[in-house]
Amino acid sequence: MLSKPVSTRPHWRPSEAHDSAASYCLSWRLAVEANDIYAWRTVPTQCLKHVENYMTGGQYERDLNFIMEHIIDYIDTIEVSDDGLDAWILDVDDTCISNLIYYRRKRFGCDPYDPDGFKRWALRGGCPAIPAVLRLFNKLVGRGFKVFLVTGRDEATLGQATLDNLQNQGFIGYQSLILRSMAYKGQSAVKYKSEIRSQLEEGEGYRIWGNVGDQWSDLQGNCTGNRAFKLPNPMYFVP
């Protein structure tokens, strides 16, 4: 007796393509945050909706709040000295203040980086504070840490706008805002920020207890601090 062969291959469902894309984008974002994908230039176009949903749908804020809880738990274990040398480093863009409004117009990172466009945006001084990080900042200042805000923004063109933006958003009481001067022009973020931290630790005697940034280049190199904390940012990569 002959019987018709029956395929063991599962039937294709219209949702399979969507499920596959969603799975890919979830894996892509995980690999980006783990720094397993290096020097990527743009968000894959098929992941636009995924990144948009992550950044605007509530999960991004929940992740930030979760990370802040662990940072604050760590802060509470530190006995701050009265010598004024206990320091903490915070990055600025998408750490203290958010560029989400700008990147919404850039399709959440699917469009290539536009340095002139970003400069025009930054000069407006309209970046809102990231609430979870502002709470952390106030906790650090209240505990007596010397907080240094270290940014790759250009000092000559964006210095005053950045200073005003931070003040208007409630970042008051930090030790110093350090921007990229001509001496560091052309250096990678890792090299530039390493040299700044080295000056603070080795040149001025500060003890860096913590370092917070949304880019791995904020946290790599020399004098990275006793603990480093990576905040999520799937929209762009800074080498």
pTM: 0.91
Helix (H), strand (E) at residue 88: strand 86-90
Quick check: is 200 in a domain?
Answer: yes
Please indicate, yes or no, if residue 185 is contained in any of the structural domains: yes
Q: Which domain holds residue 175?
A: 17-230
Q: Which two tokens stand for residue 2?
A: 């002959």
Task: Write down the pLDDT at residue 16.
Answer: 54
Q: What is the pLDDT of residues 88-130, one digit of tens each?
A: 999 999 999 999 999 999 999 999 999 999 999 999 999 999 9
Residue 19 has a pLDDT of 75
The reported pLDDT for the residue numbered 1 is 47
- What is the predicted pLDDT for the residue at 5? 46
Residue 8 belongs to some domain of the structure: no
> Quick check: is 170 in a domain?
yes
Give the CATH number, domain containing residue 213.
3.40.50.1000
Q: Is residue 2 part of a domain?
A: no
pLDDT less than 50: residues of the chain: 1-12, 14-15
Residue 178 lies in a domain: yes
Whether 3 is in a domain gets the answer no
10 in a structural domain: no
Other residues' Cβ atoms within 10 Å of the Cβ of residue 113: 13
Query: What confidence score (pLDDT) does residue 21 get?
Result: 87
Residue-wise pLDDT tens digits, 18-43: 678 899 999 999 999 999 999 999 99
Residue 98 is predicted with a pLDDT of 98
Report the percent of the chain where pLDDT is more than 70.
92
First CA to last CA across the chain, in angstroms? Answer: 68
Structurally, how many domains does the chain consist of?
1
Amino acid at 145: F
One DSSP character per residue, 185-213 reads: TT--HHHHHHHHHHIIIIIT--EEEEEEE
